[in-house]
Amino acid sequence: MGADETEGTDAARRRATLTVAALSLGTTLNPLNSSMIAVALLSLEHDFGLSVPDVTWVITLFYIASTVGQPLMGRVIDAFGARRIFVGGMAVVVVAGAIAPLDGFGLVLVSRVIMAIGTSVAFPAAVALVGPLAAVSGTSPPRLLARIQVANTTAAALGPVVGGLLIALAGWQAIFLVNIPLGLAGLISVAVLAPRDAPREAVTTAAVVRTLDPAGVISFAIAAVALLIAALGAGADALWPLIAIGVVAFGLFVWRERRARVPFIDVRMLAANRALSLTYVGFGLFNALYYLAFFGLPQFLEAHAGYSTAVVGLLMLPLSGTTIALAPVVARVIERRGLVPVLVTMAVTLLISGGFLTIGVFTTSPIWMLVMAALMGIPYCMGSLVMMESVRRAAPPDAVGVASGLLQSMRYLGAIAATVVLGHVLAGGVDAAAWGGVVIAAVGIGVIHLVVALVAASALRRAA
């Protein structure tokens, strides 16, 4: 290789590194906004005179909009180009950050919905761009995905800390306003650095209607909203009607998508692509177990062990720290050994870590809590990376965006399932016996997840 070729390769690698950093900034905005809001609830209650159920709509609406928005924005990306839509999504984030502080809690809720849609663009766009970036830089896709994973994990872990500092300095409005410079930075840097999209048709009303399958989108949205509100308990007075509406809408969605010429979500492809569909099921179960620990452990340590919120935050840090430290290692193992060994190891480790939560029944010693959190970070790192790469490989080339968005929806569904389980198990009080119930649920989910992972591993071997 000549000096000019080497210099060109080095330049391409540096540009790819900067591009992944810019994409990572965009992908952090969804977990950052999801976690920052937790420390703003009390301020919002006080400023707007709200009850606890009223103020929690800022979380509920963000979850719902993200669950629907991830695959929807992925479909838009597949149709009109990842770079173009990423830039548009960051512009939406800037608008959402600007309108929240203007006037009234209603605008805060509107801002949260718009924020969820805008930030939902980033992850599927980043995954769609990983392939082209890997090709021009010579860096493997798993390594690029590991960098994105580290950024997302860091944002989720630091969200409450960053949110607390911003609120202390400038009030709850600051956690919305901070999205303006962050969104602009992501917009400008990706517009400058990211490879240009392949030629696509112009974004016109006719093209959007033709591409997005409005009937499929609407039926999917109705099903998701109704069932999620029912699951989250936000519509307790109309639980069974919501479930009925959700089930009927989902049935209509499947019926429509099986017949659509250009479906929003290709259910026929999912039925035929066993490796991809099993990855989605596994990821939902994986996140259900993970969020049982992530949401449940802080409640248990505060209510039962009497730790302060600050101390609990410190005790949970090894979870994120382990994930960040192991991401590059896991990426190299995937690159050298393939997906299947990492997938199986992750499933076994997840089950072990779920069983290890039993320690909390007998002791809440800080040392054991730190070990428990660190152990949970091992399968979380492996699972997130191996399943992102599995979807990227198994999805058709023209559907990587919607496939990646649907994977993120499964993350939210797993998190919601965990909150429902915790609500039932801890309803009678948070003590050692109740924590034993959480452990039983975690182990049960872990066993089912292991079975799904083994079947998925077999499907991946056949598809390779």
Residue boundaries of the structural domains of the chain: 7-209, 214-261, 266-464
Of 411, 441, 409, 410, nearest in space to 425 by CA = 441
Tokens 């177990």 belong to which residue? 289
pLDDT band at 227 (very low <50, low <70, confident <90, very high): confident
Structure tokens at 236: 């307790």
CA distance 342 to 64: 31
pLDDT digits (tens, 9 = 90+) for 271-290: 888 888 999 999 999 999 98
pLDDT band at 236 (very low <50, low <70, confident <90, very high): low
Least confidently predicted of 28-42, 120-134, 365-379: 28-42
Q: What does the pLDDT read at residue 200?
A: 67
pLDDT exceeds 70 at position 6: no
Contacts of 422 by beta carbon, 8 Å cutoff, 6+ apart? 292, 295, 296, 299, 438
Q: What does the pLDDT read at residue 169?
A: 86
Looking at domain 266-464, its CATH superfamily turns out to be: MFS general substrate transporter like domains (1.20.1250.20)
Residue pair 219/72 in contact (Cβ under 8 Å)? The answer is: no
Question: What is the average pLDDT score of the chain?
Answer: 85
pLDDT exceeds 90 at position 94: yes
- Average pLDDT of the segment spanning 155-162: 74
Q: What's the CATH class of domain 7-209?
A: mainly alpha
Q: What does the pLDDT read at residue 52?
A: 65
Determine what percent of the chain is predicted with pLDDT higher than 70.
Answer: 93
pLDDT exceeds 50 at position 4: no
CA distance 351 to 288: 12
pTM of the predicted protein model: 0.80
Sign of torsion over alpha carbons 378, 310, 303, 230: negative
Of 432, 452, 438, nearest in space to 291 by CA = 438
pLDDT digits (tens, 9 = 90+) for 241-267: 888 999 999 999 999 988 888 788 888
Other Cβ atoms less than 10 A from the Cβ of 206: the count is 9
Q: What does the pLDDT read at residue 394?
A: 81
pLDDT digits (tens, 9 = 90+) for 8-26: 567 778 888 899 899 999 9
DSSP 399: G
CA distance 362 to 302: 16
Residue pair 452/278 in contact (Cβ under 8 Å)? The answer is: yes
pLDDT exceeds 60 at position 7: no
Q: Give the type of residue at 262.
A: V
